[in-house]
Amino acid sequence: MPPKKRITMHDHAAEASLFKRRAFFTFICVFVLLSVLFSNLYQLQVVSYKDYETRSNDNRIRVVPTAPSRGLIFDRHGQLLAENQPYHSLEMIPEKIKNLDETFDELNNIIEIDADEREQIKETLKFHRRFKPLTIKGKLTEEQVATFSVNQHRFPGIYVEAGLKRHYPYADLMTHVLGYVGKINTRDKAQLEQSNNWKTYAATKDIGKQGIEKFYEGLLHGLPGHLEEEVNNRGRVIRTLKVTPPTPGKDIYLTLDLKLQQKAMELLAGRRGSVVAMDPRDGGILAMVSSPSYDANLFVHGISSKGYSDLLNDKSRPLINRATQGQYSPASTIKPLVALLGLEERAINDKTRVWDPGFWQIPGVERKWRDWKRWGHGWVDVYHAIVDSCDIFFYELVYKVGIDKMADFMGKFGFGERTNVDIYEEVAGIMPSRDWKRLRYNQAWYIGDTISVGIGQGYWTSTPLQLANSTAILANKGRRFTPHLLKTFKDDTVKIDAPIDEHEPIILKNPKNWDIINEAMRQTADKSRFTDATYTAAMKTGTAQVFSVGQDEKYNAETVAEHLRDNALIVAYAPYENPRIVLAVVLENAGWGGANAGPLARALLDEYMLRDEWVLPNE
């Protein structure tokens, strides 16, 4: 008997319900997906329209930053000291160079690239982004530019770039004041990024490295502009869409007097030394010369390793700014200030007389401190002590006053601290004290130390700028200004005067003491170098020992190595009645101060005082 067929009964209601649920779920999924799609479309077309439009334009519009022209530097009378000159350099984009050595070998047949330059480029490449241009050779001649232009098709990724480069028309004359600009290195980049200034240097390759160029970088640099260029898919320029010109740096005018600077360099004649001239009425520096010097233009286009090594190893140390970094014993140039301290402390007065037999002894001590004049000066007062530079008078004086009062008093005249002149290359020198010696040598201070310091020897060191500054305070009878080099700067078409920083004056217990000391310095000038001058001057010379001589030994320059001979110094100002200029001159290992530094001071004061210059508007 065949099996019975199973009869299936359909539940149409259940199936309809299931279909509806599935259809609803499908509709929800489609709705969600469409919502996501339309949401993304809205985001792309409406919310992010500007962003994606910019990205799209970036594929055809290239923004190229343009470097600003650097501000020019002038002296107080408008003489150009630093300018910008056209130049051509050879550039390469590293990522487009397949074989660097082969490219250099082939390129060397057209433009010589020596081994040092190759090594320097390879070292730079270690820290350089390969898609950014790198300078192969700067300062190309017109012939080199023409030769390479003919052969450029052989060197993909290498091209000639034109621009402006810093140039110093007076070469080594202003180097230690102006400083120089050089290529931006890794350290410079880090400092710019830290100060959030990196964007303003997008198209700039150079930055101030020393001197005025570095200190006033913010004024001189300016702000970059940019070009918007339409390019094709190969990066070739089709047209320029927009030009935003850069803002050039501000021109600055210094307090320097070019003629006086030239005269000082001429008088130094390559000898090791320094000259600083100041206007005591406002602290403006009229001349600042350090000799020997070097041509700052060597660093603008990148000095070779050999060239830099030669400068670095030169025994005459041309890289040092002797005016602000040279540390010398001030010797007798500070005797007027020591005498002023004695008057203030009433250890002496203008009638006090001291017997000078040629030596002086601490009571109860056998050692003798000698005077420079071996048979002595006899009876001397404060005037004769300064005019004749009597050591015995000052030995006795500082023995009475002591190092504590002396260190404090000299600190008011700027010794032992930076003057804060507007260049970074400056040292503080040493104004010794009990605490200083304890910290430096972990030793107690002895009375013998005080005696040596009392005549500007021993531990005391100062820079020529500090000597000029302290003399300016003395000539001003206590008025104090921060020495400065910036006179004005040009904003658009208007000259803006730089602020003058005047400090609280030094107030003496008896103001007449200023007159006593300045009169003694006038008598010093009248007795020696300025007897026939048509203007009145005041001065004090100094002869600083470089090494100590035994108390019973006699110094003989002919038997001493040249680098151990005495330094010659002088400080002076004129005119005596109303000082306009203060000088400090230091000649290394030149010997007697009056005989060697004196003629320089006279010639410089003549140069400044005897010319018809006071009617100039800048003066």
89, 329, 332, 433: the active-site residue:
332
SS3 119: helix
The mean per-residue pLDDT over the stretch 521-544 comes to 92
18, two tokens? 């299931």
pLDDT at 547: 52
H or E element: which one contains 495? Answer: strand 494-497
* For helices 335-344 and 464-475, angle between their N-to-C axes, nearest 10 degrees: 40
Handedness of CA 270, 271, 272, 276 (dihedral sign): negative
pLDDT at 614: 47
Q: Does residue 60 carry a pLDDT above 80? A: no
Rounded CA-CA distance 423/421 in Å is 6
pLDDT band at 207 (very low <50, low <70, confident <90, very high): very high
Nearest Cα neighbor of 545 from 431, 463, 459, 428 is 459
Binding residue per annotation — 29?
A: no
DSSP 43: I
397, two tokens? 């004086």
Higher-confidence residue: 480 or 33? 480
Q: What is the DSSP string of 219-261?
A: HHH-B-EEEEEEE-TT--EEEEEEEE--BPPPEEEES--HHHH
Instruction: Please give the domain boundaries of the chain with CATH numbers for all domains.
Output: 62-254 (3.90.1310.10), 258-609 (3.40.710.10)
Q: What is the DSSP string of 161-214?
A: EEEEEEE-TTTTSSHHHH--EEE--HHHHHHHHHTT-GGGGTT--EEE-SHHHH
Question: What pLDDT, in 10s, does the model give residues 498-526?
Answer: 899 999 999 999 999 999 999 999 999 99
Binding residue per annotation — 377?
A: yes
**Pairing state of beta strands 73-74 and 251-254?**
parallel
Rounded CA-CA distance 474/469 in Å is 9
Is 528 marked active-site?
A: no
Binding residue per annotation — 404?
A: no
SS3 442: coil
> What are the Cα distances from residue 315, in Å, to 311, 319, 589?
9, 10, 14
Nearest Cα neighbor of 257 from 424, 419, 81, 420 is 81
Lowest mean pLDDT among 215-224, 332-341, 545-554: 545-554
> What are the Cα distances from residue 616, in Å, to 76, 282, 611, 613?
10, 17, 11, 6
DSSP 430: B
**Pairing state of beta strands 581-587 and 502-503?**
unpaired
Handedness of CA 94, 96, 101, 103 (dihedral sign): negative
Lowest mean pLDDT among 171-185, 208-222, 463-477, 601-615: 601-615
pLDDT at 35: 85
Binding residue per annotation — 371?
A: yes
Tell me the pLDDT of the chain averaged across its residues: 87
Show the DSSP H helices in 376-427 as ranges. 382-387, 391-401, 403-412
Q: Does residue 619 carry a pLDDT above 50? A: no
- What count of other Cβ atoms lies within 10 Å of the Cβ of residue 134? 16
